[in-house]
């Protein structure tokens, strides 16, 4: 099994603290940021950053649906880590200042991919697909925070 990684980033014309707060608000803002690839969104514990337990289904392709139960931690300032209890998937969100009134958001997801030919295709195509999905999330995050 090879490790698969997908990374997407965007500069948002909003203060890093406001952007981070919106991302960490699982009980409110986060569900508004998710495109149609996400379903069955439910906060099961917490709801604001560290200590949150959130569930959703992620449909990356027409055939591939991942049932995610994510534990959220904040290991450092400006960083949210979502570890899936149902798989090896870990998504890290990093929000850093990018000049006056701007912030850079980098989202990176890693997981242990399949072996063999399926693993080859997963490693080749999954990062692009997930990159597009998280690009939509970042677009909605920009719309939400650049008000």
Read off the tokens for 111: 């997981």
What's the pLDDT at 16? 97
The pLDDT, as a whole number, for residue 52 is 98
DSSP tag of 36: T
Which residues on adjacent β-strands are paired with residue 110?
A: 5, 90
Distance of CA 50 to the CA centre of its chain: 15
Residues 6+ apart with CB under 8 A from 32: 140, 144
What's the farthest any 2 CA atoms get from each other in the chain?
48
pLDDT at 25 over 70: yes
Digit-coded pLDDT (tens) for 70-127: 999 999 999 999 999 999 999 999 999 999 999 999 999 998 877 776 666 666 667 7
Q: What is the 8-class DSSP label of residue 64?
A: -
| Residues 89, 85: Cα–Cα separation, whole Å | 8
Per-residue pLDDT, 123: 66
What does DSSP assign to residue 61?
S
Contact yes or no for 111/89 (Cβ under 8 A): yes
pTM above 0.75, yes or no: yes
């Amino acid at each position: 099994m090879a490790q698969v990684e997908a990374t997407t980033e965007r500069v948002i014309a909003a203060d890093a603290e406001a952007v981070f707060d919106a991302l960490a608000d699982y009980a409110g803002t986060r569900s508004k940021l998710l495109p149609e690839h996400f379903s069955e969104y439910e906060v099961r514990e917490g709801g604001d950053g560290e200590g949150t337990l959130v569930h959703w289904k992620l449909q990356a392709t027409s055939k591939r649906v991942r049932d995610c139960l994510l534990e959220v931690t904040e290991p450092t300032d400006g960083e949210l880590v979502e570890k899936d209890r149902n798989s090896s998937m870990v998504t890290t969100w990093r929000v850093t200042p990018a000049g006056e009134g701007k912030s850079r958001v980098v989202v990176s997801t890693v997981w242990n991919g399949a072996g063999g030919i399926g693993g080859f295709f997963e490693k080749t195509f999954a990062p692009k697909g997930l990159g597009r999905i998280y690009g939509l999330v970042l677009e909605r995050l920009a719309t939400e925070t650049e008000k």
